């Protein structure tokens, strides 16, 4: 009897893999390398580049792909590789770094590939079997099986009603799995792989994925367009240390080519330092105000982003910022 049950479960997982695997993609990401203390690059062109690997889940026939924010948040180029070997380019549509979730757009989807389905919110329970597919250590389209072993709610994000939820699993998750989907046995996505807790860097049975509830909340909340810069939120002490008399603002560390920030002419930094334990790139513009909203803390930064999402085509938005100590202003007419 038990043998028949096990055989049936194995057969269902085999069928699930064949069904969903074509819509799981590899992401080959070229990005700006993390700062190294003491190094100075005198132009953005001299900034070091790095290449990393992640995974993603095709969720629309138009080419939308869900992944983890940390996989693509510094991307200067994204190559999307499907299971049949076909390759295409991608670009970031939006990023929610506080949740570790992002959406990218791929240029071309193979005609035979069907998009994956998101499970309904809260349509899961501790103890159910789950399946993770991704590219751990670059080993393409690897499957691991485990259980949903816990539900972990985070703190409410300032300036919003969103309480991010992570699902814990003992399914094997390693480098390269980040951004890939976790499925229930119906082949529906219940989460997007975020991170692991490990002393060795390898899987120790403590993996965490962004829950499908949170994914629905973000998508339904209209996350808006990726602005294209990597920010560092300054507190009062840090602002004064950088001769920013305003005592607040968002330090622009990197500007991603081809994005809104690049088109508006914002500049990133070129001096790598470490503040506390955090690598920071100094020398870039300091954004002080957007559309009349002053950036003083995390809540105001989130509110500013929400306000931007509410503007319509033809609306004009003003940005006030500091460059080399001088107050400047630039305008954007929404296209």
Report the catalytic residues. Answer: 70, 100, 178
Structure token pair of residue 334: 């929404």
Are the beta carbons of 154 and 213 closer than 8 angstroms? no
Residue with tokens 């076909």: 86
β-pair partners for 272:
281
DSSP label at residue 42: S
List the one residue out of 209, 221, 239, 206 whose CA is nearest residue 157: 221
Structure token pair of residue 21: 């695997």
Task: Report how far residue 89's alpha carbon sits from residue 108's, in angstroms, rounded to the nearest whole number.
Answer: 8
List the one residue out of 56, 21, 59, 9 whose CA is nearest residue 142: 21
Exposure string of 276-296, with b = 16+ CB inside 10 Å and e = fewer, is eeeebbbbbbbbbbbbeeebb
List the one residue out of 36, 78, 44 whose CA is nearest residue 252: 44
E-strand ranges in 115-248 read 117-118, 129-134, 142-153, 165-169, 181-183, 188-196, 207-211, 229-234
Task: Report how far residue 52's alpha carbon sits from residue 72's, in angstroms, rounded to the nearest whole number.
Answer: 9
Task: Report how far residue 164's alpha carbon sits from residue 193's, in angstroms, rounded to the nearest whole number.
Answer: 14
How far from 288 is each of 4, 147, 197, 247, CA to CA, in Å?
Answer: 65, 46, 36, 9
Task: Give the β-pairing of 188-196 and 117-118.
Answer: parallel
Residue 196 CA to chain centroid, in angstroms?
A: 16
- Any residues with CB less than 8 A from the CB of 13 and at least 6 apart, and which? 131, 143, 145, 185
User: What does the chain come to in residues?
Assistant: 335
């Amino acid at each position: 009897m038990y043998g028949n049950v096990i055989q049936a479960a194995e057969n269902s997982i085999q069928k699930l893999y064949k069904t969903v695997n074509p819509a799981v993609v590899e992401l080959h990401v070229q990005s700006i390398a993390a700062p190294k203390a003491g190094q100075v690059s005198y132009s953005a062109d001299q900034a070091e580049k790095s290449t990393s690997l992640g995974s993603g889940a095709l969720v629309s026939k138009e080419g939308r792909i869900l992944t983890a924010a940390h996989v693509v948040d510094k991307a200067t180029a994204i190559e999307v590789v499907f299971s049949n070997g076909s390759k295409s380019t991608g670009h970031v549509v939006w990023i929610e770094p506080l949740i570790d979730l992002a959406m990218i757009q791929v240029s071309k989807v193979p005609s035979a590939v069907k998009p994956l389905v998101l499970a309904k919110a809260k349509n899961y329970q501790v103890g159910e079997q789950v399946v993770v597919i991704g590219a751990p250590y670059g080993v393409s389209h690897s499957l691991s099986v485990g259980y949903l072993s816990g539900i972990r709610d985070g703190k409410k994000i300032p300036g919003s009603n969103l309480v991010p939820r992570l699902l814990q699993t003992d399914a094997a998750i390693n480098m390269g799995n980040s951004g890939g989907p976790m499925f229930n046995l119906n082949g529906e996505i219940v989460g997007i792989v975020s991170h692991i807790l490990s002393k060795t860097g390898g899987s120790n049975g403590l993996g965490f994925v962004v829950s499908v509830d949170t994914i629905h909340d973000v998508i339904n909340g209209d996350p808006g367009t990726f602005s294209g810069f990597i920010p560092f939120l300054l507190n009062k002490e840090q602002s004064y240390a950088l001769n920013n008399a305003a005592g607040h603002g968002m330090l622009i560390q990197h500007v991603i080519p081809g994005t809104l920030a690049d088109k508006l002419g914002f500049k990133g930094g070129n001096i790598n330092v470490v503040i506390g334990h955090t690598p920071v790139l100094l020398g870039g513009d300091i954004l002080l105000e957007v559309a009349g909203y002053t950036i003083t803390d995390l809540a105001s930064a989130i509110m500013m982003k929400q306000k931007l999402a509410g503007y319509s085509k033809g609306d004009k938005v003003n940005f006030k910022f500091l460059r080399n100590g001088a107050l400047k202003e630039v305008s954007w007419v929404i296209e």
